[in-house]
């Protein structure tokens, strides 16, 4: 079968896993990695799951590999931090069936809390890394990663970035391979990583990486393209495309494997060119190693450590071209915001009114940090809301957090928030935790989780009941409230923040974008009744604007009919009407 299709980088990675004969895939959603699993789910031959977090996903894939099948875990860069515990040790134990971790970095921070470089993690964990530069390579390298994994007895990281994951390009499809399952044999020296055994495996790891460094010089994914030798680039991934675009005549060593580096190949290339540039986004991972071998190269002296690169960046920095561009118009910024009808807006409008600080977490509700809601004070990582609130209390005393809550979503609570809540109970904190249960993982585009009652494959399963889960921890005060019930929210929040015991307030209303969640109403403003007080505008719903005369206008195509503005209006100037 030869068929060409235009595919998203992430879809191509999924296709690569399918063609490689992968049988198990586990992941936790996170931009820019989410679509890998959403595409894998299309292949019936692969068991695929959303795990509650990346550590669990990695361990599921490890188990599958030990049992003898090809397995894959995928996650965003910060997810790799969560999964790093198993990752560092599976590097020692190695694999049985091929094991691949897809790590999606986010240079430019399109949807992340930091700009970390997974290659640094890979070096520390001594795990090889492949880096594709377009959709076709995304598929091919993923397949090759499984070959390498089995040949060298190692997990392999396929590193992608937002630009690759979310770019589409042509891909030639091939049939699925059906590699035979590897036989499982009990082998504690390899798979039981206690000190005595791990010592032996550490020696193996060093020799494995050395062998890959040498063999890598012959891998077809590490390609030398000799052209004009006055300028040479060592590059990989998406930056390779910028080199091709800006300097089509330059010589290039394009590395498909960026760890370990194929030293001899690099030394040969460096000797053939007059000026050598190392062109890599984010950290100088290749550059520092290459320079440590005594090779003269130019890198971060002229290329930034931040954000994405471009062809124009090269034209300016290397070719000294002046780029003739028109200055952009200075126009109003348009940052992302909570959607019209979002239940988080309702909860935040109450917190804002009560002047309560919120220790925040990772999800759409992070958007509660900006004007006009200004409710979220902190965002660190998944699950940190509850534990950091606890830390504040232990530092400053119980009274200090009487005007604080922790705010976390249902999926993030299941991810790692649940551990933090256990800690608060165990160590006698008195924090108020608000779980904003919108029945989905919203920010990443609506994935199910253990509390929604549906799996990645779409099977209906018993949902883990968050209320009961909190109760089971021995928390006496667990309250469920409808997220749009402003009056009750206010009463309950006031009461719970002042209580000298842990309490959990679960606010419930499905995400307004969730499939099948269609509100039957729209809100309509009566400009005669409107007193122009602006109270309805305070929560910052994007469907509401002012008319020229200062009265309220509601955009009917944007309004989802949640009725928050109607509840806020003291003059009855907003009403809910049925949709036409």
Partner 1 sequence: MMKTKNIMIVGVGGQGTLLTSRILGGIILDAGYDVKLSEVHGMAQRGGSVVTFVRYGDEVAEPIVEEGQADVLIAFERLEAMRYAHYLKKDGVLIVNDQRIDPITVVTGMQTYPKNIIETLENTYTTYQIDAMKEAKELGNTKAFNVIVLGMAAKHMDFSKESWLNVIKSTVPPKTIEMNEKAFLLGYEGK
CB contact set of 80 (below 8 Å; sequence gap of 6+): 54, 87, 101, 103, 118, 121
- Phi first, then psi: what are they for 238, rounded to 5°? -60, -40
Pairing of strands 71-76, 24-27: parallel
Position 242 contacts partner 1 (CB under 8 A): yes
Shortest distance, CB of residue 557 to partner 1, whole angstroms?
6
Q: Residue 544 interacts with partner 1 (CB under 8 A)?
A: yes
What residues contact 474, with CB distance under 8 A and at least 6 apart?
A: 425
Q: Which stretch binds partner 1 (CB under 8 A): 67-75, 280-288, 443-451, 563-571?
A: 443-451
Q: How far is the CB of 135 from partner 1 (least distance, A)?
A: 8
- What is the rounded CA–CA span in Å between residue 381 and residue 537? 30
Of 84, 76, 88, 72, give the one whose Cα is nearest residue 26.
72
- Does residue 35 bind partner 1 (CB under 8 A)? yes
Q: Note whether 371 and 531 are within 8 A (CB).
A: no
Among positions 69, 339, 381, 408, the unique one binding partner 1 when judged by CB under 8 A: 339
Of the candidate residues 15, 27, 31, 156, the single one contacting partner 1 (CB under 8 A) = 31
Tallying the residues shown for the chain, one arrives at: 580
Which one of residues 194, 203, 323, 472 is an interface residue with partner 1 (CB under 8 A)? 323
Q: How far is the CB of 471 from partner 1 (least distance, A)?
A: 33
Convert residues 482-521 into a mask of x (bound to partner 1 by CB under 8 A) and - (unbound).
----------------------------------------
Binding string to partner 1 for residues 245 to 274, with x set by CB under 8 A, is what?
x-----------------------------
Stretches 20-28, 395-403, 419-427, 539-547: which one binds partner 1 (CB under 8 A)? 539-547
Residue of the chain from 306, 545, 550, 577 that contacts partner 1 (CB under 8 A): 545
Binding flag, residue 327, partner 1 (CB under 8 A): yes
Which of 197, 310, 419, 529 is in the footprint of partner 1 by CB under 8 A?
A: 310
CB atoms within 10 A of CB 334: 7
- Number of residues located near partner 1, criterion CB under 8 A: 57
Nearest CA to 16 out of 151, 183, 134 is that of: 134
Whether residue 283 contacts residue 129, with contact meaning beta carbons closer than 8 Å, is answered with no
Radius of gyration of the chain (CA): 27
State which of residues 331, 395, 472, 528 lies at the interface with partner 1 (CB under 8 A).
Answer: 331
- The DSSP line for 490-543 is HHHHHHHHTSSS-EEEEEE---TTSTT---SEEEEE-TTT-----GGGTT--TT
Does residue 32 touch partner 1 according to CB under 8 A?
Answer: yes
- As measured in angstroms, the least distance from the Cβ of 413 to partner 1 is 20
In angstroms, the CA 361 to CA 412 distance is: 8
What is the number of other CB atoms lying within 10 angstroms of the CB of residue 357?
A: 17
462 is an interface residue for partner 1 by CB under 8 A: no
Task: Restricting to residues 348-387, name those near partner 1 by CB under 8 A.
Answer: 364, 367, 370-372
Q: Which of 186, 334, 355, 570 binds partner 1 (CB under 8 A)?
A: 334
- Binding partner 1 (rule: CB under 8 A), the pick from 42, 114, 124, 170 is 170
Nearest by Cα to 478 from 434, 417, 447: 434
Locate tokens 């030398």: which residue?
Answer: 224
Provide the strand spans (E) within 318-427: 357-359, 376-378, 404-409
Query: Is 297 an interacting residue with respect to partner 1 (CB under 8 A)?
Result: no
Q: Which stretch binds partner 1 (CB under 8 A): 215-223, 327-335, 375-383, 409-417?
A: 327-335
In the set 44, 180, 324, 487, which binds partner 1 (CB under 8 A)? 324
Shortest Å distance, C-beta 27 to partner 1 = 15
For residue 100, CA distances in Å to 27, 128, 287, 443 come to 12, 10, 25, 26
- Least Cβ distance, residue 160 to partner 1 (angstroms): 13
In the complex, minimum distance from the CB of residue 445 to partner 1, in angstroms, rounded to a whole number: 7
Taking contact as CB under 8 A, which single stretch among the options 152-160, 199-207, 393-401, 553-561 is the one that binds partner 1?
553-561
Q: Which is nearer to partner 1, 329 or 570 (CB)?
A: 329
Closer to partner 1 by Cβ: residue 96 or 136 = 136
Instruction: Give the C-alpha separation, 419 to 441, whole Å.
Output: 18
Q: How many CA atoms lie within 13 A of 9 on its CB side?
A: 26
| Closest by Cα among 250, 228, 229 to 239 | 250
Applying CB under 8 A, the residues found at the interface with partner 1 are 4-6, 8, 31-32, 34-35, 110-111, 134, 163, 166-170, 238, 241-242, 244-245, 310-312, 323-329, 331-339, 364, 367, 370-372, 443-445, 537, 540, 542, 544-545, 555, 557-558
């Amino acid at each position: 079968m030869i068929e060409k299709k235009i595919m998203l980088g992430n879809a191509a990675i999924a296709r690569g896993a399918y063609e490689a004969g992968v049988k198990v895939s586990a992941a936790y959603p996170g931009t820019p990695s989410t679509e890998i699993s959403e595409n894998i789910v299309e292949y019936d031959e692969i068991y695929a799951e959303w795990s509650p977090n990346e550590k669990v996903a990695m361990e599921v894939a490890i188990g599958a590999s030990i049992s003898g099948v090809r397995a894959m875990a995928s996650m965003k860069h910060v997810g790799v931090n969560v999964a790093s515990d198993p990752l560092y040790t599976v590097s020692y134990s190695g694999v049985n069936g091929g094991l691949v971790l897809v790590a999606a970095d986010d240079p430019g921070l399109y949807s992340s809390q930091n700009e970390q470089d997974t290659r640094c993690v890979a070096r520390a964990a001594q795990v090889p890394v492949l880096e594709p530069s377009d959709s076709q390579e995304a598929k091919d390298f993923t397949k090759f990663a499984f070959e390498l994994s089995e040949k060298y007895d190692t997990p392999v990281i396929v590193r992608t970035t937002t630009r690759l994951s979310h770019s589409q390009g042509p891909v030639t499809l091939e049939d699925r391979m059906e590699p035979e399952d590897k036989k499982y044999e009990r082998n504690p020296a390899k798979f039981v990583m206690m000190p005595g055994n791990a010592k032996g495996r550490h020696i193996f790891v060093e020799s494995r990486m050395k062998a890959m460094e040498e063999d890598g010089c012959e891998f077809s994914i590490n390609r030398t393209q000799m052209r004009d030798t006055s300028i040479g680039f060592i590059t990989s991934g998406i930056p390779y495309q910028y080199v091709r675009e800006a300097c089509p005549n330059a010589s290039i060593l394009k590395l498909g494997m960026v760890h370990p580096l194929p030293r001899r190949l690099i030394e040969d290339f460096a000797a053939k060119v007059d000026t050598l540039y190392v062109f890599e986004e984010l950290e100088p991972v290749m550059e520092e190693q290459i320079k440590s071998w005594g090779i003269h190269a130019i890198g971060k002296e002229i290329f930034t450590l931040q954000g994405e690169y471009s062809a124009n960046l090269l034209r300016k920095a290397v070719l000294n071209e002046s780029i003739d561009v028109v200055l952009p118009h200075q126009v109003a910024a348009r940052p992302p915001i909570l959607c019209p009808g979002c239940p988080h807006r309702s909860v935040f409008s109450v917190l804002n009114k009560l002047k309560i600080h919120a220790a925040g977490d990772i999800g759409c509700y992070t958007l509660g940090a900006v004007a006009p809601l200004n409710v979220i004070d902190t965002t660190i990582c998944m699950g940190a809301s509850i534990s950091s609130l606890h830390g504040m209390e232990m530092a400053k005393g119980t009274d200090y957090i009487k005007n604080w809550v922790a705010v976390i979503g249902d999926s993030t609570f299941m991810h790692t928030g649940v551990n933090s809540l256990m800690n608060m109970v165990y160590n006698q904190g008195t924090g108020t935790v608000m779980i904003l249960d919108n029945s989905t993982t919203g920010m990443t585009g609506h994935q199910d989780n253990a509390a929604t009652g549906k799996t990645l494959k779409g099977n209906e399963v018993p949902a883990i009941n968050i209320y009961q889960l909190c109760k089971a921890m021995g928390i006496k005060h667990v309250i469920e409230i409808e997220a749009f019930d402003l009056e009750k929210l206010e009463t309950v929040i006031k009461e719970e923040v002042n209580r000298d015991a842990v309490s959990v307030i679960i606010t419930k209303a499905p995400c307004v974008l969730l499939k099948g969640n269609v509100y039957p109403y729209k809100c309509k403003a009566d400009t005669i009744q409107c007193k122009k007080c602006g109270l309805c505008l305070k929560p910052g719903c994007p469907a509401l604007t002012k008319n020229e005369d200062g009265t309220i206008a509601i955009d009917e195509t944007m309004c989802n009919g949640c009725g928050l503005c109607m509840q806020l209006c003291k003059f009855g100037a907003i009403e809910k009407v049925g949709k036409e």
